[in-house]
Structure 1
Amino acid sequence: WGTGNPGPDWNGEAREGDNLYSDSVIALDADTGELKWHFQFTPHDVHDWDATQIPILIDIEFDGRPRKLMLFPNRNAFFYVLDRVTGEFLRGTPFAKQTWAERIDENGRPIRIPGMLPNEEGVLVYPSINGAANWWSNTYSPRTELLYVVTYDGAETFFIGEDEYVPGELFVGGGADRYVPQETYASMIRALDPRTGDTRWEFSLQPKTQSGLLSTASDLVFGGSVDGYFYALDAVNGTELWRINVGGNVKAAPISYMVGTV
């Protein structure tokens, strides 16, 4: 499962190094609790991105042979493909707008862009504290072999503050200013190809959504939005097929169920 971010959130001076096992996915032996492997997405996280999103497990042919994979679109805006048996890093590609890392290297570590760490004046960084993805569930279709993800292209100004720990008080060491121009923000559903990391299609959502997604064997993707709409998309190309207003903010993920044999 995924782990949270280290503290204090934004001022990393009090916690040098990678801060294992924060911002990581860890694999434990269910019988013994032994750590089998780990992978850290954001070493020394100073943007409160963590790694508590929901991973997707799939079995497909990857780079010419069958692999048991874990798909993890992280809040840091990179889409990771891991071998879930060994924890081997296979691919890391951006799936949303980001300005903090040049790339992910061959070992899975981010190459940071200079000047993007929080400071006292504040630094505007994509993605925002909400992350490029978050707790809402993604969905994978074995028919299209695509992963469907709710994404945010948003920025925030990150700044540092005191890093002294005081018992009983918040230990965050700074903050993030959400009052940034609206043109820095966009919400999308994106269809990602696990083999290449490419975005096959995207569907714009205005306003944003905090609803998870559902894909079906009839090649549909369902989701909801904060303005009360429930919608259906074509899973192959992202075309909107219909939408209805359900009368309230949609934040839960859709489900499918069977009645009798239907």
Structure 2
Amino acid sequence: MHIDLSGKTAIVTGSSQGIGFATALGLARTGARTVITGRDTARLEKALRRITDDVPGAAVDAVAADLSTSEGAETLLAEVPAADILVNNLGIFEPKAFLDIDDAEWRRYFDVNVLSGIRLSRLYLPAMIERRWGRIVFVSSESALQIPPEMMHYGMTKTAQLAVARGLAEVCAGSAVTVNSVLPGPTNSEGIAGFVAELGAGSGLSLDEQVDEFVREHRPTSLLRRAATPEKVANLIVYLSSPQASATTGAALSVDGGTRRSVV
């Protein structure tokens, strides 16, 4: 399958590393003008260089903004007034006991993980519907369906994303704009690797081995018995962004290595 997104503009939020970066790189390889976002200018510049080194001549831009705020969203809109593809990947996570999560933390997680995608979809969707072509993808998690008790606030936001994505798909019925969710499982991204490294300090295992051991111990239902790579998750997101995926909308698609014990 050859995916050609030449002439399309794609925004990927939270894309200086991890799944977001892998998605931006994958979209750049299809010929799309790709916009990466994040708060850390140095990280964004590094990500920009990595993409242009891998895809010479790629049309890639970087916008530094805090997309958990309305001001950040307006900054992005001013820099990129229209987009054909919006990948709502921005997200935070941290293990924390329920009794230790105060009201402010619940709100912060909702603002970053949920409201950022709602706000950007509201800004970019009208023009997609008018042009009768568009793709919106929410990067949720298998934690949306298997709420992790050690980070319930994170799981709550991932479930909320599924509800928003399905509702938006209904709003877009008949418009040729598709809205879908992707549910990654354990993925060997920078964020997970750093967290696992702290847990496995002094184990004698390499970082990749520590991540895979974490999956086997803490996600024992995984059929892969190891973590996925960001690139494998990005492959599904790039497909959902393509013309080939025009019949897929309102779906929540897993790329979780079989972690969830369900056939649907």
Query: TM-score, normalising length from structure 1?
Result: 0.26
Higher helix share: 2
Structure having greater relative contact order (Cα 8 Å, sep ≥ 6): 2
Query: TM-score, normalising length from structure 2?
Result: 0.26
Greater C-alpha radius of gyration: 1
Higher strand share: 1
